[in-house]
Structure 1
Amino acid sequence: MPGSAVIIGAGIAGLATARGLLGAGWAVHVFERSPGLPGTGTALGMWPEAMRALDRLGAGEQVRAGSVELRGARLLRPDGTEIGHLGAGRTVRLVPRPVLLAALAEGLPPDVIAWNTAVTDHGALPAADVVVAADGVHSPVRAALFGVAPRPLGTVALRGTVPGPAQGATETWGPARLFGITPHDAGRTNWFASVRSDVLASAGAGHDDPQVLRRLYGDWHPEVRRVLDALGNTPIDWRTLLDVPPLPSYVQGRTVLLGDAAHGMAPNLGRGACEALLDATALVGALSAASDVPGALHRYDAARRRPTIRTVRLARVANSMSTARHLLPVRNAVAAAAARLS
């Protein structure tokens, strides 16, 4: 069923949807407020189901070529002793965000994306069979349709990359904070930290001050200290963590929500980018197979809303658990038991 679509946002969900619909013969226009594709960004986990989605979109091989394969991660205490081993039975590919977005944008006609074009009123968009709102966790479209704003998780994330390869992946849990290390590519290390907001505030640092990381993590095990020593003037991405409360639907009329606009979540499960890709391929599949748009959007909503709401809840629990302040031995014992089942 070829038709026309207007897509708000050229992030992962928006570009994946544009690529899929163009391949299905649709006319597509994307509006994006930023000036172009990003040149920097940290690594994103691509689980096998996300790689299958990328293969369906014709972007899998490019992502494989620009990513690192990883099997499992060690969960550690601040002194470096092991709590457990996570995901030993599953393989994930770690791909820098710019590589993923470039792969999704590869081959799109140059006039498909209108850069530097913020959408302030989705009701004033050009006429189309479908309006796809892939406009992020702060989605103005979601706010206009459902009156739902994102809710704070009580934690702040700091992320970046440093020179030097990572030897595997670790996530270290301390009181009220964690520190993660993964490969970024063959020559760089990806790092991320999550801290309870009040703990970070008491550290008394500005957003661009790497000394806050030394104050919070400087006495942790050598793998963490190696990253801290390599920080130098590398950029630090600093943001308050949010998620989106459960919505009654991801569809209203001919407007459909995808990605973080529909189900923004805590990053602790490494599922945000994967779920955006699964949204996109589910929507493209529904629109391609259906004889009418309302029926296709209903099938998309039925396929994606319940599983993503469940993932948001699990990610929220993981965020709270990994940055717990009290009963840390109990927390670690529960995490060790869960790791043995993963």
Structure 2
Amino acid sequence: MSSEDRNRKVEVAIVGGGVCGLTCAVALQKAGVSVQLFEAAAAFGEIGAGIGIGPNAVRVLRALGVLDEVLQKCSPGELRPRGFIYHTGVGEHRAVYKTTAEGPEEEGIGMHRAVFLDALVGVVDRSACHFNKRLVSISDSPTNPNRTLLHFLDGTTHEADVVLGADGIKSSVRKFILGGKDDRTAFSNTVAYRGLIPYPKLKAAGFKTELTSSPACFVGPSKHFIVFPIKNDTIINVVAFAARYDIPVGSANLPEGTPWVEEVSKDELKQVYQGWGPDIVAILECMPENPSKWSIHVVHPPLESYTAGRVAVLGDAAHGMLPHLGAGAGQGLEDAYLLSRLLSHPETHIANIEAILQVYSQIRKPRAQAVWELSQLAGRTYDGNGPHREEWDSVGADLDGLFHSVWRHDLDAEFEAALALLRDRGAFSADASPAAFLDALIGEIDPASCHFHKRCVSVAESPSNPKRVLLSFLDGTTHETDVVLGADGIKSSVRKFLVGEGDNRVAFSNTVAYRGLIPYADLKAAGFKINLADHPTCFMGPNKHFIVFPINDTKTINVVAFSARYDIPIGAANLPEGAPWVEIVTRDELKKVYEGWGPDVSTLLDCMPEKPSKWSIHVLYPPLESYTKGRVALLGDAAHGMLPHMGAGAGQGLEDAYMLARLLSHPDTNVENIEAVLQVYSEVRLPRAQMVWDGSVFAGRVYDGTGPHSQDWEKIGEDLSPEKLYKPVWRHDFEAEFAGVVSTLRERGAFTA
């Protein structure tokens, strides 16, 4: 593939302008991806009433930088923990179970669908949005088999590299995925009556159940009510479900042409819920005269894949599900988030699109299908058809953990898993990150001892044994152990146990790095003169420098272009909370930063990807007073995250690991002396790592002309003397360090003399 093809922007077409399609468009636009959105209607608009944005979806919105816009359309107070309280629907509405939501990590939003959509409309580039575009078919481009052609009802067409179908449960794009034979849409045997009621009106009618602290679910035989406030608790959104469980899903589909949504009389609704308790009677009296009745359809049986070639589906088009966990929108947002991160990745190009979409499907399909099945189980439980049937006091046992398994999904781990698959399959470069090194280590470790999707949220002493440590994870599980080693990087959660919640010591270094990969053949063809095959090269200049070195058997050149400010102390100008540390920018931004540099650097800039990544480099500052507290210790970036100017950060982490492994496996180490062992580890490793930290800062200053000889470039060799700077890092004596630690432990009586 030519350099021109590799660097050409990937062009994406999104079909469908609902919540999922708009979120995906906004995410891609923010990442600099060329995207056009096609909506069948004459304008953006959502049918339906309330929408639940669970904690997992809130994290997506925050990561995409649109959460503030959403909250401005409702109220910041709408973002709060939203557990459900379950009441019996018949009789006196006894509370039988509560799903808890704990802390900021489990805050959700309840709001009107149209308001949520309006927030997204406010941030999308409207020039890329096209209306009255009802898709009728998809085909290969007649002029380029690597492009896809969309055909619309108005006779127009559009060609793109990637097509994303966010066109809902009635998806036309899904028919292309399935070869046009079967759209997999099935009636769920469930109907939902929907309406909005002013909260004062409902209370005046005698409604007693409190709704402002938690949404309510009234459970009963084959039916249930979901009731929750929106619009700052002024409006109550009501969804009344009625289902049949004697018919398999999809075996009694509606006659062709039957509307899925229709207006019915309030009397019909009253008849369905005849005999229910007083609060339900109050709701029924206050419902609109003509509530809407929705025949809920789902995608069933599940798709074998969410993609075919360069076409993929997301949201309801991929996995339309029952709404009983309020998780459908969240799953669509998770799809959009992963797709946007993959399609905006610096290594994404025209030739690997199909591989990327296949990995998207492979990662997202089991997750979304698990939520699909949990949603079905939740509905059956609410309706007395779960494991405990109509033993309402036992429904908690059936519902326990259902919501948390949806809410506590680790989006970053999912993205990393996708990257690992792409690297493993050769679609992304294995040398572009530590993945190749990790692969070598993975081959040596017992997989039975590895546990995934375990984001640590807290570290504490065991409540049952003060000599044990308890780890708590985002998914609600815990683990107890004798020693905890925090190797969880610069954003370490374990470090908070050492320094306290209010001080994590993470500081912006005032340095950014632009990264990209260039085929060496393309670079030489463009006129690059310096031979890079033998040695890495550093191009130095005022407040900036380039590090350029070959990888992938010298076929690829890894470029890291640094730019720094030295007039601001480290940590004095930290990024705003929530600002991304890594973002995709344009090549033009990079050219502007290095304007006026020499011919080889100009050639590098011309050959850089159209969308290089920009990394805001953070460090640990001020340094920790200790790497350990009790039976908990830190290593690597969690202990001493540093600037990368000596390429020494990973090496310091490996030195930490070596020392800890030798000490913890020493014959004299036991449960009683663990704290003493870790304390000496910290005493020995802290000054060593801090010396390298300081050297890395110094090296960067020298490269950027702010070292002892400033911009007297001919003399910087004196500042960078290997004997003073590099060799003390490279020639460290591990054995002497270990012997010193053992000697100290013997002097203190922790080890036998």
TM-score of the alignment, normalized to the shorter chain, above 0.5:
yes
| Matching residue of 2:645 | 268
- The partner residue of 2:697 within 302, 312, 316 is 316
| Matching residue of 1:291 | 669
| Matching residue of 2:587 | 210
The letter for the 2-side match of 1:118 is R
- For 1:136, what is the secondary structure of its paired residue? coil
Alignment of 1:23-34 (within 5 A): 34=413
| Matching residue of 1:180 | 547
Q: In structure 2, how many angstroms separate the alpha carbons of the residues matched to 1:155 and 1:319?
A: 10
Q: In structure 2, how many angstroms separate the alpha carbons of the residues matched to 1:279 and 1:144?
A: 19
Q: Is the 8 A contact 1:242 1:266 kept in 2?
A: yes
Cα 1:105/1:181, change in 2 over 3 Å = same
Q: Does 1:109 align with 2:446?
A: yes
Cα offset for 1:271?
Answer: 0.3
Q: Deviations over 1:231-286 (max 9, x none)?
A: 23465242234333222211111100000010000111110011111111110001
Identical amino acids, percent of aligned pairs: 26
Cα offset for 1:33?
Answer: 6.1
Cα 1:306/1:341, change in 2 over 3 Å = closer
Q: In structure 2, how many angstroms separate the alpha carbons of the residues matched to 1:326 and 1:295?
A: 40
Q: In structure 2, how many angstroms separate the alpha carbons of the residues matched to 1:96 and 1:257?
A: 23
| Matching residue of 2:659 | 282
Cα offset for 1:340?
Answer: 5.0
Cα 1:332/1:297, change in 2 over 3 Å = same
| Matching residue of 2:511 | 155
- For 2:513, what is the secondary structure of its paired residue? strand
Cα 1:32/1:272, change in 2 over 3 Å = farther
Q: Deviations over 1:300-326 (max 9, x none)?
A: 223311100111122122233433469
- For 2:456, what is the secondary structure of its paired residue? coil
**Structure 2: 5+ residue stretches without partners:** 1-409, 421-428, 461-469, 472-478, 522-531, 568-582, 724-753
The letter for the 2-side match of 1:311 is V
Q: Deviations over 1:94-126 (max 9, x none)?
A: 995111111122232333222222111123411
Q: Deviations over 1:154-205 (max 9, x none)?
A: 2112222221264331111111111110112221011111112599xxxxxx
Cα 1:282/1:331, change in 2 over 3 Å = farther
| Matching residue of 1:60 | none
Q: Is the 8 A contact 2:542 2:704 kept in 1?
A: yes
| Matching residue of 1:171 | 538
Q: Is the 8 A contact 2:511 2:565 kept in 1?
A: yes
Q: Is the 8 A contact 1:249 1:305 kept in 2?
A: yes
The letter for the 1-side match of 2:648 is R
The letter for the 2-side match of 1:134 is A
Alignment of 1:15-54 (within 5 A): 34-35=413-414, 36=416, 39=419
Cα 1:132/1:99, change in 2 over 3 Å = same
| Matching residue of 1:119 | 456
Q: In structure 2, how many angstroms separate the alpha carbons of the residues matched to 1:276 and 1:326?
A: 27
Cα 1:32/1:115, change in 2 over 3 Å = farther
Q: In structure 2, how many angstroms separate the alpha carbons of the residues matched to 1:37 and 1:102?
A: 13
Q: Is the 8 A contact 1:133 1:261 kept in 2?
A: yes
Cα 1:154/1:282, change in 2 over 3 Å = same
The letter for the 2-side match of 1:214 is K
- Ranked by relative contact order (alpha carbons within 8 Å, sequence separation 6 or more), the top structure is 1
Aligned CA RMSD, in angstroms, stands at 3.1
Q: In structure 2, how many angstroms separate the alpha carbons of the residues matched to 1:334 and 1:243?
A: 31
Which is greater in Rg? 2
Count of aligned pairs: 255
- The partner residue of 1:190 within 555, 558, 568 is 558
Cα 1:33/1:128, change in 2 over 3 Å = farther
**Structure 1: 5+ residue stretches without partners:** 1-30, 41-65, 68-93, 200-205
The letter for the 1-side match of 2:669 is S
| Matching residue of 1:138 | 491
Q: In structure 2, how many angstroms separate the alpha carbons of the residues matched to 1:297 and 1:251?
A: 6
- For 1:195, what is the secondary structure of its paired residue? strand
Q: In structure 2, how many angstroms separate the alpha carbons of the residues matched to 1:33 and 1:130?
A: 26
Q: In structure 1, how many angstroms separate the alpha carbons of the residues matched to 2:565 and 2:719?
A: 26
Alignment of 1:326-341 (within 5 A): 330=711, 332-339=713-720, 341=722
Q: In structure 2, how many angstroms separate the alpha carbons of the residues matched to 1:241 and 1:193?
A: 16
Q: Is the 8 A contact 2:505 2:620 kept in 1?
A: no
- For 1:248, what is the secondary structure of its paired residue? coil
TM-score normalised over the length of structure 2:
0.31
Q: In structure 1, how many angstroms separate the alpha carbons of the residues matched to 2:486 and 2:411?
A: 11
